[in-house]
């Protein structure tokens, strides 16, 4: 299956550098130079697997584009393209629903590794399971990859789903941040551990009764996290 990637980048030379390298690696690409064009392209191409979103854009910023994509699509993988000076933006981007970020300047190999990791997660596990995991008030449906809390659907990204699934497969067991990173992002992922913390912070906002005092995903200080006490 060809992977389809949307490239949102207003600087034409950077965009064509990315597109040339993705094509060389076997991806199908769609290009956009503005946030509005990117959203329009996604409407026309609902089968896009991964969107690469530049942060600084002429008409809007990449975070707003991310928010708008996520509002209607929880399955697509989203990678933010950030500048080295935008350290805080990484966190902002992940909080608005991005799965990952790549800091400019990046190598084509780094970018394709990140895209592949997201595609694997989005398509790889979908066919294996047919069951449900119950952990009241939660119900995780591993066939549809959905989560309900008290019968209400909680909208999760693919990364968030994978984290919840990992916890529910290991209830009461402390998982190190490295274990979580390996299990969810893959062993060949070369990002930072911080991405685990940011995703868990976002997940807590969605699933905890009181995100500032979490009782489902609890912190194991100096080590990682676990599901339950
Ligand atoms: Ca830009």
Ordered by start, the domain boundaries in the chain are: 4-122, 132-227
Q: What is the pLDDT of residue 152?
A: 94
Whole-number Å distance, alpha carbon 58 to ligand 1 midpoint, is: 7
Whole-number Å distance, alpha carbon 53 to ligand 1 midpoint, is: 9
Whole-number Å distance, alpha carbon 228 to ligand 1 midpoint, is: 42
Q: What is the pLDDT of residue 125?
A: 44
The residues near 111 (Cβ < 8 Å, ≥ 6 apart) are 18, 21, 22, 52, 79, 102
Q: Are the C-beta atoms of residues 178 and 193 closer than 8 Å to each other? A: yes
Q: What is the pLDDT of residue 129?
A: 47
Q: What is the pLDDT of residue 131?
A: 83
Question: CA 70, CA 205: separation in Å to the nearest integer?
Answer: 16
Q: Do domains 4-122 and 132-227 have the same CATH topology?
A: no
Q: What is the pLDDT of residue 208?
A: 95
pLDDT tens-digit profile, the chain (229 residues): 788 999 999 999 999 999 999 999 899 999 999 999 999 999 999 899 999 999 989 999 899 999 999 888 878 999 989 876 665 555 666 677 888 888 888 888 889 988 988 887 655 444 444 588 888 899 999 888 899 999 999 999 989 999 999 998 888 889 999 999 999 988 777 778 888 999 999 999 999 999 999 999 999 998 999 998 6
User: What is the DSSP secondary structure assignment for residue 227, as one 8-state letter?
Assistant: E
Angle at 218 between CA 143 and CA 124, to 5 degrees: 25
CATH topology of domain 4-122: Rossmann fold (3.40.50)
Whole-number Å distance, alpha carbon 194 to ligand 1 midpoint, is: 24
Angle at 15 between CA 33 and CA 61, to 5 degrees: 45
- Which CATH number does 132-227 carry? 1.10.10.10
């Amino acid at each position: 299956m060809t992977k389809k990637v949307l490239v949102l980048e207003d600087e034409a030379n950077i965009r064509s550098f990315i597109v040339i390298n993705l094509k060389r690696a076997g991806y199908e690409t769609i290009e956009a130079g503005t946030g509005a064009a990117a959203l329009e392209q996604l409407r026309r191409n609902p089968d896009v697997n991964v969107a690469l979103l530049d942060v600084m854009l002429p008409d809007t910023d990449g975070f707003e584009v991310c928010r708008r994509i996520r509002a209607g699509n929880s399955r697509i993988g989203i990678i933010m393209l950030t500048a080295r000076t935008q350290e805080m933006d990484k966190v902002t981007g992940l909080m608005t629903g991005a799965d990952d970020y790549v800091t400019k300047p990046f190598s084509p190999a780094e970018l394709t590794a990140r895209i592949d990791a997201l595609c694997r997660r989005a398509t790889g596990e979908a066919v294996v399971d047919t069951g449900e995991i119950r952990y009241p008030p939660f119900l995780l449906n591993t066939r549809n990859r959905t989560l309900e809390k008290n019968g209400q659907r909680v909208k999760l990204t693919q990364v968030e789903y994978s984290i919840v699934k990992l916890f529910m497969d290991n209830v009461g067991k402390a998982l190190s941040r490295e274990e979580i990173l390996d299990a969810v992002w893959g062993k060949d992922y070369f990002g930072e551990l911080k991405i685990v913390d940011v995703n868990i912070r976002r997940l807590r906002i969605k699933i905890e009764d009181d995100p500032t005092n979490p009782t489902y995903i609890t912190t194991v200080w100096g080590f990682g996290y676990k599901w339950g006490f």
